[in-house]
């Protein structure tokens, strides 16, 4: 029986989800904890490779133990959490069918990108947001956001180093919610290219600063040229909120 874990983490002190030779990863930390807690070999496959410094509330990973677990499934999160460091937590564990695949079966993902837009920084949200002291034009950003919705070739919003076969992706929604000085971009799509959300966020910031006009977004998408889009925003503003399987 396979188990689907829902995982939250503060990515500040990690080199990302994926195991690396020179850094402590979320996946590696989770595997070490599972090895200490479970009494059998297991496989673990993550649903999304979050980068160094990126956070998650709803990362998923597929755990396949070689034997039936002695710990009841509803107790598993608590048992693992008591052994995990405080910046990683299991939020849920559920049984999934034998033919389940955490990557191929994902229907869509939602990311949040937070921008703190006040004159002076706020240390309590600093680790989870990008700080932009210059006043951003929210209405222009919201107008620009709608041009990303739909199926497009997002080659202009993809960093070098990605391994995707195609750069066509479908965005189902992209909303910008303002709460005082905190702007939150929430984007849901059927998949995201390497650094895609952070480059979209950087492009929207350029719109907010008046460097790019909202109506220029379709042209930027059409060029398929990375250099036409905005800069890649810092990892710490990005949180993987949810992965949907149905």
- Rank residues 226 and 234 by Cβ distance to a copy of itself and give the closer one: 234
Minimum distance from CB of 24 to a copy of itself (Å)? 15
Strands (DSSP E) found in 10-107? 42-46, 55-65, 88-96
Q: Which residue has the tokens 């993987």?
A: 240
Residue the block writes with tokens 């006009």 = 213
- Shortest CB 128 distance to a copy of itself, Å: 6
Among 123, 160, 227, 246, binds a copy of itself (CB under 8 A): 123
* 109 belongs to the binding site for a copy of itself (CB under 8 A): no
Q: At what angle do helices 196-208 and 138-145 cross, to 10 degrees?
A: 140
Rg (CA), the chain: 19
Is 121 an interacting residue with respect to a copy of itself (CB under 8 A)? Answer: yes
Regarding 179 and contact with a copy of itself (CB under 8 A), the answer is: no
- Residue 21 annotated among the catalytic residues of the structure: no
Listed ranges 29-37, 79-87, 142-150, 156-164: which one lies at the site for a copy of itself (CB under 8 A): 79-87
8-state DSSP, 54: -
Minimum Å gap between C-beta 89 and a copy of itself is 5
Question: What is the rounded distance in angstroms from the CA atom of residue 12 to the CA atom of residue 54?
Answer: 7
Residue 228: its H or E element? none
- Residues in contact with a copy of itself by CB under 8 A are 8-10, 55, 57, 77-78, 81, 86-92, 119-124, 126-128, 133, 239
- Catalytic site positions: 51
């Amino acid at each position: 029986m396979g188990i689907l874990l829902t995982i939250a983490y503060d990515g500040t002190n990690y080199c990302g989800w994926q195991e690396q030779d020179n850094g402590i990863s979320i996946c590696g930390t989770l595997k070490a904890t599972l090895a200490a807690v479970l009494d059998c070999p297991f496989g673990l496959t993550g649903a999304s490779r979050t980068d160094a410094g990126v956070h998650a509330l709803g990362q998923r990973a597929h755990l396949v133990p070689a034997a039936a677990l002695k710990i009841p499934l509803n107790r598993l999160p608590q048992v693992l959490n008591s052994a995990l460091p405080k910046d990683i937590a299991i939020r849920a564990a559920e049984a999934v069918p034998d033919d389940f695949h955490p990557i191929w079966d994902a229907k869509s993902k939602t990311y949040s990108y937070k921008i703190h837009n006040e004159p002076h920084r706020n240390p309590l949200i600093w680790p989870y947001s990008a700080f932009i002291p210059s006043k951003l034009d929210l209405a222009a950003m919201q107008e620009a956001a709608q041009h990303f919705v739909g199926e497009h070739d997002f080659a202009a919003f993809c960093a070098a180093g990605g391994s995707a076969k195609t750069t066509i992706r479908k965005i189902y929604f992209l909303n910008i919610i303002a709460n005082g000085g905190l702007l939150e971009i929430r984007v849901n799509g059927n998949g995201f290219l390497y650094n895609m959300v952070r480059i979209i966020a950087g492009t929207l910031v350029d719109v907010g600063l008046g460097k790019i006009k909202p109506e220029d977004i379709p042209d930027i998408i059409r060029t398929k040229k990375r250099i036409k889009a905005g800069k890649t925003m810092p990892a710490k503003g990005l949180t993987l909120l949810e992965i949907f399987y149905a």
